[in-house]
Structure 1
Amino acid sequence: MKHRIYGTSFAGVYPLYVAKAERKGRTKAEVDEVIRWLMGYSQESLEEQLVKQVDFETFIAEAPELNPSRALVKGVVCGVRVEEIEEPTMREIRYLDRLIDELARGKAMEKILRQG
């Protein structure tokens, strides 16, 4: 059975990512940058996905180019080590969750984007 997050609207969760970041002094633009880096969306195509109200499964399936450096994303989200998640779609969702957590914790963008 698929996890219910797969059928959840990405546009429904997106404002929660932004709010989490903004509570910690980060910006919507930084959230968008993290999503674009991870999934390969342009700003325009990201905004189109939000307007279309696609679910998480579709958002990930339609990602233009998953960043190969995302394999460097490590750590625990919801009590589970990201790098140990076997189901590919869930792993991508948790990569995104982990990056938003890092953003909210004040980590430098170049470290979040695995450039430093």
Structure 2
Amino acid sequence: MATDRIRRMAFGAVYPHYVTKVERKGRTEEELHQVITWLTGYDTAALERAVADGVDLETFFADAPAMNPNASLITGVICGHRVEEIEDPLMRRIRWMDKLVDELARGRKMASVLRGTTD
């Protein structure tokens, strides 16, 4: 099942694609860190450890220090699915992260990507 495969995918396998995507569009890895930190509460050192340790996406989100309470404001379509309609909590979190990275790469202002907050 595709969902199981995604759950077991290493965060470190996805992260370089995020970096490439945002840098190709003129954004920085630091901005990417800001977005992921906003969503999950991880700091840069913890993100680097997650990549180096091969943590899977399920564990990455299960161990997230503090999912942002404003994450529920992330709406729209990603991979052909409306984010707000995804029932599986883990898949919704993964798609939230995908959506934020897409918005960053598309050049949206950081305040907009972070749903009007800067923390």
TM-score if structure 1 supplies the norm length? 0.96
Aligned length: 116
Deviations 1:39-84 (A, max 9, x none): 0111111111111110111101110000000000000001000000
Runs of 4+ in 1 over 3 A off after TM superposition: none
1:56-95 alignment, distance < 5 Å: 56-95=57-96
TM-score if structure 2 supplies the norm length? 0.94
The root-mean-square deviation of aligned C-alpha atoms, in Å, is 1.1
Residue equivalent to 1:23? 24
CA distance in 1, matches of 2:114, 2:91: 20
SS for the counterpart of 1:114 is coil
Q: Tell me, which stretches of 5 or more residues in structure 2 are unaligned? A: none
Identity, in percent, stands at: 53
Q: Tell me, which stretches of 5 or more residues in structure 1 are unaligned? A: none
- The Cα of 1:3 is off from its aligned counterpart by 3.0
The range that moved more, 15-24 or 42-51, is 42-51
